[in-house]
Amino acid sequence: MIEIRGLIKAFGSRPILKGIDLDVAEGEFLTLVGPNGAGKTTLMNIIATLSQPTAGQVRVAGYDLHDDAIEVRRHIGLVSHKTLLYDDLSADQNLRFYARLYDLPRPQARIETMLRQVGLWGHQRDPVRTFSRGMQQRLAIARALLHDPPVLLLDEPDTGLDQHATARLNHLLDQATTASHTVLMTTHNLERGLAWGDRVAILAGGRIAYQARRPDLDIEALRAQYDLHVTGG
């Protein structure tokens, strides 16, 4: 579902991604772990068409990022630490706006379904600025899933959330991401990366330094690999 070949990204003369080769199969949940500054968000932004690669090829749902960017966007939903919501609009107005951008048929029914799913039905007329950070992030998930994209990109979605809100977010993502979704999630939390992914990859030094399937990996082994590739120890 996601195919990345020889992906290079440099900002000026500073290389961030130095040749990424990565595949995420249909229905697979891949977590990408790495330290701050490893290029996780840069990689996500490129897959989401928010940033242009310097070199290499990316295909999402069979569509080439360069030639079919609009189709790529139609097939992805992005949840990041930024909610991509409008504070001055209500939850309902935000989702209605995105429903129009995604050409959703019968948007009102879908909006109600999504708001109920994220536990915000009853707050649909409240301005987003009155929501707590946890509520805003739940609405961001509703926004990302509104058009039922087959590919979900989760870029450290729990950043800035307290423990309770994180637990609720995790539960919600667990419910919302079904087997039909292909998910690529970035995190710097090894435990969460291992708990969630069918496969875990370590991004370090601008490359995929290590990857393994979950049944073959425990937290100690992952930590050892992480230390080896990230801290050099």
- Interface ranges with other proteins (CB under 8 A): 48-52, 70-71, 73-74, 76, 78, 80, 82-89, 93, 97-98, 100-103, 127, 143
Shortest distance in whole angstroms from residue 199 CB to other proteins: 25
Shortest distance in whole angstroms from residue 84 CB to other proteins: 4
Tokens of 217: 């990996």
Among 13, 56, 20, 19, which residue's Cα sits nearest to residue 186?
20
User: What dihedral angle (degrees, nearest 10) is formed by the CA atoms of 164, 168, 169, 170?
Assistant: 100
Q: What is the phi/psi pair of residue 175, to 5°?
A: -70, -40
Cβ nearer to other proteins, comparing 60 with 194: 60
Cβ nearer to other proteins, comparing 79 with 203: 79
Question: Hey, which residues does 146 pair with through a beta bridge?
Answer: none
Cβ nearer to other proteins, comparing 22 with 85: 85
Shortest distance in whole angstroms from residue 97 CB to other proteins: 5
Cβ nearer to other proteins, comparing 93 with 211: 93
Shortest distance in whole angstroms from residue 220 CB to other proteins: 37
What is the Rg, in whole angstroms, of the alpha carbon atoms belonging to the chain? 18
Euclidean distance between CA atoms 4 and 22, whole angstroms: 5
